[in-house]
Structures are given as structure tokens and as C-alpha cells.
Amino acid sequence: MPEILSLYELNRLIRSVIDEAFHAAVLVTAEIASCDVKNHCYMTLVDRDGETTRAEIKAVIWANSYKVISRQFREATGVDPGKGIKILFEAEVSFHERYGLKLNILNIDPSFTIGEFAVRRKEILERLAKEGLKDRNKGLEFPLVPRRVGIISSATAAGYEDLLNHLSNNPYGYRFTCRLYEAVMQGDGAEASVVRAFRQCLNDASSLDVAVIVRGGGGQADLHCFDSYEIAKAIASMPIPVISGIGHERDFTVVDEVSNMRAKTPTAVADMIITRVKDFEDTIDTLRNSLVHGARRLTSEAKEEISSLAKNLENHIRKDINDNEHRLDFFLKGLKYSLRSIQSEHEKLRARESSVKHLDPLNVLKRGYSITYSNGKPLKSASDVEEGDNVRTKLFKGGFTSIVERKTDREVSK
């Protein structure tokens, strides 16, 4: 029959075995599942295989060590040790009869975490590229006049206030309409909160020109929450350009990579929007000046052309008038000559008319002569009638009919 042990005796036995097996510190990699800082830092560490947790253990960083370790870690990585971060740490394995097994963390290697951040970021970007999401928002055309701005940020954040103040007090007097979609910008709930804010912004996208995401002030802590596939997917789903202003100049996150544009600070985001509007105004001014100068140039050229045409027309008209004057003079001279000819012919005609009048049978009859007709024909010779023929004689006044009693063939003596 095995020996009966009390729980205390069993735990002391376990402790002795662990102390003998782990007489020196060990190097371990794990993911921080929870982190609670209350002077001392209490952690729950896990080892996952995909979505399955295959190992879990409690760990502690005592207060004096935590101040040094957390400061060094933050300076190197930009974040404090927290949930979801993978770490490589040096720890002592300890077992207490009452409190059980625990790891006493002596040091954390920040270079491992930096590498894990880079690997995680690379994997997310590769997935986004494979799904066609990485450059979707970058492909959207940035509006010429972005005046309606949707803002994903915290209402109480200094960065949000800086953005609003800079937009409102711009030196050109431009007016912008801003709408806040509030989100938690750091900590464990930041990712889900930002995704919800983007979904709300998506519902109003038709009434917005651009969306911006700005951090709520502070340093680089919790910047890693923006290396998020879900946030990147939400940005890719936006039908309007997204401007990222969540980090400092040397920090690039997944959100920066998928956004249409990136600025290093909220103020720089405002400058980017203001500059876009100013560039459009300058373009309009340039086009207006070009239009005015072009119109003036065309007007001047048209005036010169019209003046030239007017001179040519005047010369042609003057030449035509001169030519017509010469032709008219020639015509008048010809007309005068024709009139003289007509007058001359008229005089000749009058003379002939006078001669004809003298020869008019009526005038002859008037002088006492008569005309004798036989069978309707005037008689010229006595041989044209026979004795007994009826003849008609016409006088100046009247006439008569007679019978030929006798005729002579002698010619009338002259």
C-alpha cells in the first residue's frame, strides 16, 4: 500500500523536484494572455497552436524589476508588455506549497517581440494582398475639394482636438464639415472599437468626402493594435479615401499601408486636407488667369485681323469704285455719242418724213389729182381697161364711178 501524504507534504515533494530540475533560469517564449499591473506585474502566459491553447501558466514580474524591464521594453518596441504580445523572457521556475507553480520573470528580450511584430505585420499584409484588399483604398481617387470629413478617434483626445482646431482655423478661411465616429484608440478594446467606428462611418460614406483615423494623443504605446487585419479590412471596405494619422514618422503600421494616404500627426492630416483644397483653388485661379490672358490675346489677334480685313476691303472697294467710275465715264461718253447719233438720225427721219408727206397720195389728191381703180387696182395705163368697163375714181374729197366710152393709148405729155 502506497504511503499516505498530506497535501503539504506532496507539494513540498513537488517543490523539491522542481528546485532540483530547474536550479537555473530558463529562456521561454509565450504569448501574454492577460496582464495586470498592481505595483507588481501579474501575467497569464499561453502557448497557442492556431486557435487552440496548448499550455498556460501564471507569471510575475516583481515591482522593482518591472520598472526597469517595462521601460527598456517600451523604448525598444514602442509598447508596454500587454495582452496579445509574444515575448522571449528569462524566468525562474518556482513552486510554492500554497500558491502553486509560477514563473518569476527576470528579463524580457524586446528584439524577439520586435521580430514578432514584424512577422505578424508581414503575414497580415500578405493576406490582405492575396485577398485583393491591400491596395483597394489606395486605388480610390482623392477628391479635389475634400470638405466633408469623417473622423475615427476619441472625443477627448488631444489629437482629435488638434485636427479640428487646425481645420477650423486654417489661414484661407475654408469651411469643413467634420463628423466624429468615436473609438477607443489604445488598449485591449481598441481593435474592436475602431472596426465598429469604421462600420458606422461606412453607413454615412455617401455624405462624406474622406475619412481620417487619428490617435488620441500620447506616445507610441499600443501602436501595435493598428497592425490589425480586421481594421485593415474595414478600411478596404470604405468607398471613400482614408487618411491615416496614427503614428510618428518612423512608424508604419498595417493601417498606414492600406490607407489611401498617410500623415505622421493629426495636424499633418489637417494640413494635407487644407493643402488639397488650396491646390484646387490655385488651379482654378491659374485656369482663370490663363482664360483671361487667352481671351485678351485672341481679342487682340481678332482686332488686328479685322483691321487688316477692313483695310483690304476698303482698298478693294476703292479700286472697284475707281474702276466703275472709269467704266461709267466711258459709258456716259458712249451714251452722249449715241444721243448725238440718235438726234442726227432723228433729223434725217424728220426730213424723210417731210418728203414722204409730200408724196402722200392724199396730199397729191389735195392738189387736184385723182386715182382711178379698175377691179380694185389703180390704173396706170389705158391699155389696162377696155371700153365699156366700169371704173372708180377717187378724189381728195369723195369719188365717183364711170363707164369707159373711149380710150387713147397716148402717153400724157410732160
pLDDT tens-digit readout, 202-256: 999 999 999 999 985 554 545 677 888 999 999 999 999 999 998 655 567 899 9
Looking at 122-126, 186-190, 243-247, 282-286, which range is the least confident one? 186-190
Q: Is a pLDDT exceeding 50 seen at residue 327?
A: yes
Domains and CATH numbers, the chain: 7-126 (2.40.50.140), 136-277 (3.40.50.2300), 364-403 (no CATH)
pTM above 0.75, yes or no: no
Q: How many residues make up the chain in this entry?
A: 414
The alpha-carbon radius of gyration of the chain (Å, integer) is: 63
pLDDT at 334: 86
Q: Is a pLDDT exceeding 80 seen at residue 1?
A: no
Q: Report the percent of the chain where pLDDT is more than 90.
A: 44
Contacts of 60 by beta carbon, 8 Å cutoff, 6+ apart: 40, 41, 42, 43, 102, 103, 104, 105
Q: Is a pLDDT exceeding 80 seen at residue 362?
A: no
* More reliable by pLDDT, 302 or 366: 302
pLDDT at 359: 67
pLDDT at 249: 56
How far apart, in whole angstroms, are the C-alpha atoms of residue 88 and residue 69? 12
In the predicted model, what is the mean pLDDT of residues 71-93? 86
Contacts of 54 by beta carbon, 8 Å cutoff, 6+ apart: 47, 48
Positive or negative, the CA dihedral 126, 131, 137, 140 is positive
Instruction: With beta carbons less than 8 A apart as the criterion, state whether 215 and 246 touch.
Output: yes
pLDDT at 139: 94
C-alpha distances in Å from residue 315, one per residue of 69, 308, 319, 321: 101, 11, 6, 10
Average pLDDT across the chain, whole number:
87
Phi, psi (rounded to 5 degrees) for 387: -65, 135
Q: Is a pLDDT exceeding 60 seen at residue 412?
A: no
pLDDT digits (tens, 9 = 90+) for 329-357: 888 888 888 888 888 888 888 888 777 77
pLDDT at 221: 47
Instruction: With beta carbons less than 8 A apart as the criterion, state whether 70 and 43 touch.
Output: no
Q: Label residues 327-355 b or e (16+ Cβ within 10 Å = b).
A: eeeeeeeeeeeeeeeeeeeeeeeeeeeee
In the predicted model, what is the mean pLDDT of residues 249-267? 85
pLDDT at 215: 83
* More reliable by pLDDT, 274 or 398: 274
Residue 86 C-alpha cell reads as 509574444
Q: Report the percent of the chain where pLDDT is more than 70.
A: 94
Residue 405 C-alpha cell reads as 366710152
pLDDT digits (tens, 9 = 90+) for 148-198: 999 999 988 888 999 999 999 999 999 999 999 999 887 778 889 999 999
